[in-house]
Amino acid sequence: MAARIRACRICRDAPQATPLPHEPRPVLRVSTTARLLVASQAPGTKVHATGLSFNDASGDRLRDWMGVSREVFYDEAKVAIVPMGFCFPGQGPDKSDLPPRRECREAWHDPLLGLLPQLECILAIGRYAQTYHFARAGRALPRNVTVDDTVRRWAELAGAKPRIIPLPHPSWRNTGWLRRNPWFESELLPRLRAEVARALG
């Protein structure tokens, strides 16, 4: 299925709204052995250019949060990376990235994740991933919940298999939030690293 997703052109050829403004380049990493899933939002410009998930400063910060090296992070046998939008969605007037395309989730996510029952831990990064993965696990979040609220409630929301750890995006844009919330580093990151280590086995 990964090959079919990488060949997908729905958002350009049969979009639900405005067509993707550039050539699609779906980016994901999956295997039937990975027990850890990084569920992100959508590729940014650098990832779109290189075709490698989290190949940017956000990826450096995420790997630091997880306590893993690039080598481990990019070992598909251990870590799956499935964004809610497989292609870079383009940018808005303020130069911020647009939301992930709905076409990806509706066409691919349920069947793809149905082929990955071995997943034990999901790192749900950002609102789109959190909304989808908690609902899929039968633990739907309230409609008006914010990423801030969800991340603050990580301990009560994580649940059993699959464990779902909600995270803010590791973008530089969230540096201010991280400074205002020191509990994230002191309380959540040690637990996150323990969960990652357990899933990596």
Indicate whether 92 belongs to any domain: yes
Predicted pLDDT of residue 6: 96
Indicate whether 141 belongs to any domain: yes
Contact 38, 125 (CB under 8 A): yes
Average of per-residue pLDDT values in the chain: 95
Indicate whether 162 belongs to any domain: yes
Indicate whether 14 belongs to any domain: no
pLDDT tens track for 73-105: 999 999 999 999 999 999 888 888 889 999 999
Indicate whether 25 belongs to any domain: no
User: For residue 161, what is the DSSP state?
Assistant: S
Element spanning 80, H or E: strand 79-81
Pick the closest to residue 87 from 173, 171, 19, 134 (CA basis): 19
pLDDT tens track for 113-160: 999 999 999 999 999 999 999 999 999 999 999 999 999 999 999 988
Predicted pLDDT of residue 93: 86
Indicate whether 50 belongs to any domain: yes
Indicate whether 17 belongs to any domain: no
Number of Cα atoms under 13 Å in the Cβ half of residue 95: 1
Number of structural domains, the chain? 1
Q: What's the whole-number mean pLDDT along residues 41-66?
A: 95
Predicted pLDDT of residue 94: 85
Range of the domain at 53: 2-8+32-200
